[in-house]
Amino acid sequence: NRRLQEMLQTMCRARGAELCPVDERYCIDNGAMIAQAGWEMLRVGQVTELSQSGITQRYRTDEVEVTWRD
């Protein structure tokens, strides 16, 4: 997704980071990325009750609060 890569590039530049997008051949399923994020949250004890969880298809990457990292 070119628009997503543009957004990520902007966010990386603002934070002094480098964006390293993978080849399009490997961008076919977000399941592994979602599972990894869930694992990282569980690993540090961050659990969301099912009644408090939900799905937002158009969730913006730059709006995600990462609470399981320093």
**Confidence at residue 66, expressed as pLDDT on a 0 to 100 scale:** 84
Is 90 exceeded by the pLDDT of residue 60? Answer: no
pLDDT in tens, 5-59: 899 999 999 999 999 988 877 776 677 778 888 898 899 999 989 999 888 777 7
Cβ atoms of 33 and 39 within 8 Å: the answer is no
Cβ atoms of 12 and 19 within 8 Å: the answer is yes
CA 36 to chain centre: 10
Residue 55 carries which side chain, given as an amino acid letter?
A: I
